Structure 1
């Protein structure tokens, strides 16, 4: 395949992808090991049980994990996250060809069996080739907002996020209504038309 990707040839890009996957695998291995160590230091505990208030128990867990994080040179929140991900994925259920980051996203699937089945069945690759998990495809499975919207609904949600500030929304709406096709469709919507009419009459 000819052409360039960014500033490199396609051939060099493919080499870097292969290297990158090796690096990610190495990084994931370290993340799993740190998470497993944190679980060994403080196994996951359910709320309630022998200590319904959870106060002393949770404090002890927090302090032990915080100490471990400081002693290995990581943030407490990072190690706490690794610990949770390890607890959601028994060693026999982890996929070497799927990054720790993807496992972390899919860890949010509540049902254990559904979670294990999901990681083993990546969606089709939008650029062709073998099915492979991406950050966004994993987010779609768990219902999170994606980084690169593709569907109309995802793009609409992204626009809503960007225009959550009223001042921004007003500028965007004004710009959009200057486009005849959009203005026509907006005024054809009963709710939108009544909202504009009501606002004008109240002003």
Structure 2
């Protein structure tokens, strides 16, 4: 509060005039600080809004094909769930084919007599599958006891790793996911099973014609 009101005057336009030089300086300093604060708030608002916009636009700009990165991640999660269900269903097909016609311990997918092949052909016709697909499912199921199957891995990966002859190595392999990855790819499984060359790949398919 200003004790000496004579230091303050009012001009004809009803504006306060400070006649004391010291008070005028103090008033001007306060006014300057207020303007600085107002300016600082304005600058922060002007900068923060575009930064937020850039962050949002940046996320939307990252696309995978025709979808955003976030949508792609949703699709991957959805399809991983579908693959788990698909793997379970393919093992069911293989298990039921084994129930109809069990495999001999040393059998390959196609190394059987005419009798079992006729049975598989009939079953394949009755369920609308190619006999080769039914034969593959049956052989893969025979190589993976229920407790050794992994929901996180596709049926295709199980099929490739089924080519590992030693059962202990085969069961250990599916849990030994390549470093830096969360699940097997078919390419990694082929390398693990020794099918990383065309000759080896050809040999792996000889019994599955």
**Shorter-chain TM-score range:** 0.5 to 0.7
Q: Within 5 A, what are the aligned runs for 1:25-44?
A: 25-44=84-103
State the alpha-carbon separation in 2 of the partners of residues 31 and 131 from structure 1. 22
- 2:122 maps to 1:67: yes
Instruction: Please state if 1:6 is matched with 2:57.
Output: no
Aligned with residue 20 of structure 1, among 63, 79, 85: 79
Structure 1 contact 109–115 (Cα < 8 Å) conserved: yes
Match runs of 1:1-203 below 5 Å? 2=59, 3-46=62-105, 58-125=113-180, 130-145=181-196
- Structure 1: stretches of 5+ with no match in the other structure: 49-54, 147-156, 158-203
Give, in angstroms, the shift of residue 75 of structure 1.
Answer: 0.3
CA distance in 1 between partners of 2:186 and 2:141 (Å) = 19
CA shift for structure 1 position 121: 1.3
Instruction: Report the Cα offset of residue 46 of structure 1.
Output: 4.5
Distance 2:168 2:154 in 1: 19
Question: In structure 1, the residue corresponding to 2:129 is in which secondary structure?
Answer: coil
Note the C-alpha offset of 1:25.
Answer: 1.1
How many angstroms does 1:143 deviate by? 2.0
> Secondary structure of 1:124's match?
coil
Match of 1:69, SS state, is helix
Give the greater-gyration-radius structure (CA): 2
Equivalent residue pairs, number: 136
Partners of 2:120 and 2:159 in 1: CA distance = 18
C-alpha change, 1:47 and 1:113, in structure 2 (3 Å) is closer
Higher RCO, 1 vs 2 (CA within 8 Å, ≥6 residues apart): 2
Displacement after TM superposition at 1:19 (Å): 0.6
Q: Distance in 2 between matches of 1:14 and 1:46?
A: 42
Query: Where do 5+ consecutive residues of structure 2 fail to align?
Result: 1-57, 199-209
TM-score by length of 2: 0.61
- Measured against aligned partners, the alpha-carbon deviations of 1:26-71 in whole angstroms (never above 9, x if no partner) come to 11111000000000001111569xxxxxx9x711110111111110
Tell me the TM-score normalized by structure 1: 0.62
In 1, the alpha carbon distance for the partners of 2:196 and 2:79 equals: 25
Distance 1:32 1:132 in 2: 19
